[in-house]
Amino acid sequence: MEKRNGIGATEAHARLLMDSYKRWTGRDLLVAKTQENGISEALFQAPFVILSHGTEAEPVLNYGNEKALELWEMSWDELTSTPSRLTAEPMAREERDRFFERVTENGFVDGYTGIRISSTGRRFAIIDTLVWNLVDEEGVFRGQAAAFSEYRYL
């Protein structure tokens, strides 16, 4: 994925995040879709956390906005080389896997709460999270994304 100034997403990935969100929920991910630098910059600077992972056998994170990088205490390069499952504590990974199966089947799930762990071991609860499938214009499954604004350190 292309990076601008070391961090960011391509406009195409940003559009995939936005369009897939709208497809499943009927709502806009961002109220103001445009900004001088485009939607990728608007998503990166959004006032809430946005993450996504790809479709690998063990999905790897392929996007995290500024809030996600701060919360998980990672650089862009660290985050985008991290298997998605490693963002959850070991005991919660099986539950997380079952949850993502529900998202795959239903398109999206709203109201998810779970325990996550940062790169430094700091534990936190993500609260009222919406997780959705990323599906391109041709209907091809491209991964999953999550957005939330509420979290609590444990």
pLDDT digits (tens, 9 = 90+) for 47-78: 999 999 999 999 999 999 999 999 999 999 99
Predicted TM-score (pTM) of the model is 0.87
Asked whether residue 45 is domain-assigned, the answer is yes
88 falls in which pLDDT band (50, 70, 90)? confident
Q: Is the dihedral of CA 61, 97, 48, 19 positive or negative?
A: positive
Asked whether residue 77 is domain-assigned, the answer is yes
Of residues 102 and 46, more confidently modeled: 46
Q: Is the dihedral of CA 152, 99, 148, 71 positive or negative?
A: positive
Lowest-pLDDT range of 9-23, 71-85, 95-109, 112-126: 95-109
Percent share of the chain, pLDDT over 90: 68
- Separation between Cα atoms, residue 133 and residue 9, nearest integer Å: 18
* Partners of 132 in beta bridges: 108, 145
Asked whether residue 140 is domain-assigned, the answer is yes
The whole-angstrom distance between residue 52's C-alpha and the CA centroid of its chain comes to 3
What range defines the domain where residue 131 resides? 11-153
Asked whether residue 5 is domain-assigned, the answer is no
Backbone angles phi, psi at 54, to 5 degrees: -90, -155
* Partners of 3 in beta bridges: none
Asked whether residue 117 is domain-assigned, the answer is yes
Asked whether residue 62 is domain-assigned, the answer is yes
CATH number at residue 121: 3.30.450.20
DSSP 8-class letter at 7:
B
Asked whether residue 66 is domain-assigned, the answer is yes
Give how many domains the chain has, as a whole number.
Answer: 1
